[in-house]
């Protein structure tokens, strides 16, 4: 029991430290707008002064009307008091609206800057990070974090700070105008209220965290299922997915019920303290009236002041909980910013210099060893060169490490030993942006944006003209197909391009790369999803594109790489053969065996 209490204290201290770190990290985004902050605070104080003046003016009106009970008493009420009462109410509203209007830009700019920074940082993180994270949960963290910034600023500026200012004004007025007992009762009631609210809300925080965790799980499950919609349909597992999702929803519903019960306890406890404070204050005021030390107007004033003060305090539990939750959500988003990039530019990184951009760079893999996980080697002392303007093809069975070569050239990962050079420049020492701009790839698995065909082709060169986009599409043998569609290049391809066939998606990817016109080309099974006739026509275009340009082809169909200047045969992460198509056939080793197998398969299909 004692160890559990110590553990809870440690957790609370750690949480408080995290909360302060969040505030410290958020402040620079807000400090940039000092003038707006000053004007906002001025409006805030003026709004509260006007708010305090409203019950004071009401007291004067009541006292003036209490002079006599005759109808003529109305004449005793100065018109100026009523006008002043109305102006004070209007002023309180005016300054409150001005406060929100002036500060709204600060809030939105802070949200925009933080959100953009997180977005840019996520794109800077390694492929390993993105493969190990669930996109649904991560986007939810970002969404909650940006919303948390808005909530935290809103609750602080529009609720907590105004309430503290009003509390100080009310206590000051009570001390100035009445007995010190009014101040003590009000202060003690408020202290009890705040302590009770904080303690119970801290207890409730666990339920809220559980709710958020289960909400993220349910969201991840739903997103994952919808992304893999076709797979679900293939296996007829709609009921299975529904049951899985329902399990998450049931857990979430159970957590919500527990949270609601604790909220009811919090609200009722707060009302007990509020009522106790009001009764004590009214009791003191009634005694003052009975002793003729106070007027009826004073009784009304004290009552209105307490009610006016307790109205915002009534939401203190919700505000405290939401602020704590906002801090937690912002902290989770900021933790993404603290994630190590793994692959980052060196401080003295230079721009990649390609000696002959139209021909392409000299590529050199020198004793490259690489693994994704320590107990699972992928490449083992791989060395080869691609001369400028020449084509090298890599073949081998699945898992041999072929596609990894393309990822390493793009520097999605850093090698554990050895180095990769482009025109004698170690790719670790050059800027990633320039490196990737110089390389174009047609991947085996083409994933498109949920946008138009034109947008997806133009992604190879943002800002390209329509004529350039159409020229790239013609070279990729897809222009006629696009033109036959009702909306042409404005046709939406759907989520991940699922409205297009595999061959159509791959041709869009080829057009995208053709438009980019890079110095170094990487074809990773670029025609694997195409039929034989389309493959032959596109292969001709690819060969023309690769002509006199440095090219790396990762291939499965050997018939597509017979023209290569060099063919590498990989097995278990090592190069076991290298040479031209003719020389490798003469050697009669693994490549020759693969060729015979594929030719016999083609012969069987023809028959």
Structure tokens at 23: 């505030």
Q: Does 363 have pLDDT greater than 90?
A: yes
Q: Which of 410, 463, 419 minimizes the C-alpha distance to 439?
A: 410
Q: Does 386 have pLDDT greater than 50?
A: yes
Helix (H) or strand (E) holding 521: strand 520-524
Judged on CB neighbours under 10 Å (0-12, 13-18, 19+), 546 is buried
| Predicted local distance difference test score (pLDDT) of residue 1 | 47
Judged on CB neighbours under 10 Å (0-12, 13-18, 19+), 555 is buried
Residues facing 554 on adjacent strands? 394, 524
| Average pLDDT of the residues in 497-522 | 85
DSSP output for 66-88: TT-SSTTHHHHS-HHHHHHHHHH
pLDDT tens figures, 3-33: 555 555 555 555 555 667 777 777 777 777 7
| Predicted local distance difference test score (pLDDT) of residue 75 | 52
Q: CA torsion angle for 234, 240, 241, 245 (degrees, to 10)?
A: 180
Backbone angles phi, psi at 571, to 5 degrees: -150, 125
| Average pLDDT of the residues in 270-282 | 85
- Which range (128-132, 207-211, 272-276, 399-403) has the least confidence? 128-132
| Average pLDDT of the residues in 373-392 | 88
**What is the distance between the alpha carbons of residues 588 and 396, in angstroms, rounded to a whole number?**
15
**What is the distance between the alpha carbons of residues 232 and 530, in angstroms, rounded to a whole number?**
25
Q: Does 564 have pLDDT greater than 80?
A: yes
| Highest-scoring range by mean pLDDT, 131-135, 204-208, 288-292, 379-383 | 379-383
**What is the distance between the alpha carbons of residues 235 and 228, in angstroms, rounded to a whole number?**
11
Of the two residues 199 and 315, the one the predictor is more confident about is 199
CA 53, distance to chain mean position in Å, is 45
| Predicted local distance difference test score (pLDDT) of residue 385 | 93
Secondary structure of residue 550 in the 3-state scheme: strand
Taking the model in full, what pTM does it have?
Answer: 0.62
- What is the set of domains in the chain, with CATH numbers? 19-337 (1.20.1560.10), 355-438+520-580 (3.40.50.300), 449-517 (3.40.50.300)
| Average pLDDT of the residues in 263-272 | 84
| Predicted local distance difference test score (pLDDT) of residue 387 | 92
- Contacts of 81 by beta carbon, 8 Å cutoff, 6+ apart: 57, 60, 61, 64
Q: Does 451 have pLDDT greater than 70?
A: yes
pLDDT tens figures, 418-434: 999 999 999 999 998 88
């Amino acid at each position: 029991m004692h160890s559990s209490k110590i553990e809870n204290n440690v957790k609370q201290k750690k949480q408080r430290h995290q909360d302060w770190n969040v505030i410290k990290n958020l402040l620079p985004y807000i400090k940039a707008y000092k003038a707006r902050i000053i004007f906002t605070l001025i409006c805030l104080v003026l709004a509260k002064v006007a708010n305090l003046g409203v019950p004071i003016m009401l007291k004067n009106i009541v006292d003036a009307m209490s002079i006599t009970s005759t109808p003529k008493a109305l004449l005793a009420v100065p018109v100026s008091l009523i006008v002043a009462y109305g102006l004070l109410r209007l002023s309180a509203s005016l300054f409150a609206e001005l406060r929100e209007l002036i500060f709204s830009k600060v809030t939105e700019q802070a949200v925009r800057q933080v959100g953009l920074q997180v977005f840019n940082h996520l794109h800077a993180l390694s492929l390993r990070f993105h493969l190990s994270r669930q996109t649904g949960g991560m986007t939810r963290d970002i969404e909650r974090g940006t919303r948390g910034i808005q909530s935290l600023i809103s609750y602080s500026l529009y609720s907590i700070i105004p309430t503290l200012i009003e509390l100080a004004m009310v206590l000051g007025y009570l001390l100035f105008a009445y007995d010190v007992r009014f101040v003590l009762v009000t202060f003690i009631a408020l202290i009890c209220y705040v302590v009770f609210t904080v303690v119970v809300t801290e207890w409730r925080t666990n339920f809220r965290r559980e709710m958020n965790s289960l909400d993220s799980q349910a969201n991840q499950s739903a997103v994952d299922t919808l992304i893999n919609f076709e797979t679900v349909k293939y296996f007829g597992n709609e009921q299975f997915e529904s049951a899985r999702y329902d399990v998450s929803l049931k857990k979430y519903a159970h957590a919500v019920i527990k949270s609601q019960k604790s909220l009811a306890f919090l609200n009722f406890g707060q009302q007990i303290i509020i009522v106790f404070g009001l009764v004590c204050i009214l009791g003191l005021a009634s005694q003052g009236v009975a002793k003729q030390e106070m007027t009826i107007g004073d009784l009304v004033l004290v009552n209105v002041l307490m009610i006016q003060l307790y109205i915002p305090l009534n939401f203190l539990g919700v505000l405290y909980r939401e602020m704590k939750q906002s801090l937690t959500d912002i902290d989770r988003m900021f933790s993404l910013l603290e994630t190590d990039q793994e692959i980052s530019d060196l401080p003295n990184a230079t721009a990649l210099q390609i000696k002959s951009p139209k021909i392409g760079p000299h590529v050199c893999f020198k004793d490259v060893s690489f693994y994704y996980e320590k107990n699972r080697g992928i490449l083992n002392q791989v060395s080869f060169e691609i001369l400028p303007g020449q084509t090298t093809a890599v073949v081998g069975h699945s898992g041999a490490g072929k596609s990894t070569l393309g990822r390493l050239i793009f520097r999605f990962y850093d090698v554990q030993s050895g180095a990769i050079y482009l025109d004698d420049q170690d790719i670790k020492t050059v800027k990633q942006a320039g490196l990737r701009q110089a390389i174009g790839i047609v991947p085996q698995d083409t994933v498109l944006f949920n946008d138009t065909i034109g947008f997806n082709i133009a992604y190879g060169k943002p800002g390209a003209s329509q004529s350039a986009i159409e020229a790239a599409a013609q070279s990729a043998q897809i222009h006629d197909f696009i033109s036959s569609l009702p909306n042409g290049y404005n046709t939406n391809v759907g989520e991940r391009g699922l409205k297009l066939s595999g061959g159509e998606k791959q041709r869009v990817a080829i057009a995208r790369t053709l438009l980019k016109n890079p110095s170094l080309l990487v074809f990773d099974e670029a025609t694997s999803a195409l039929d034989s006739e389309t493959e032959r026509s596109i292969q001709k275009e690819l060969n023309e594109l690769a002509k006199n340009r440095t090219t790396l082809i990762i291939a499965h169909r050997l018939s597509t790489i017979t023209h290569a200047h060099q063919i590498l045969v990989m097995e278990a992460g090592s190069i076991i053969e290298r040479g031209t198509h003719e020389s490798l056939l003469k050697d009669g080793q693994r490549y020759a065996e693969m060729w015979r197998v594929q030719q016999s398969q083609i012969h069987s299909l023809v028959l």
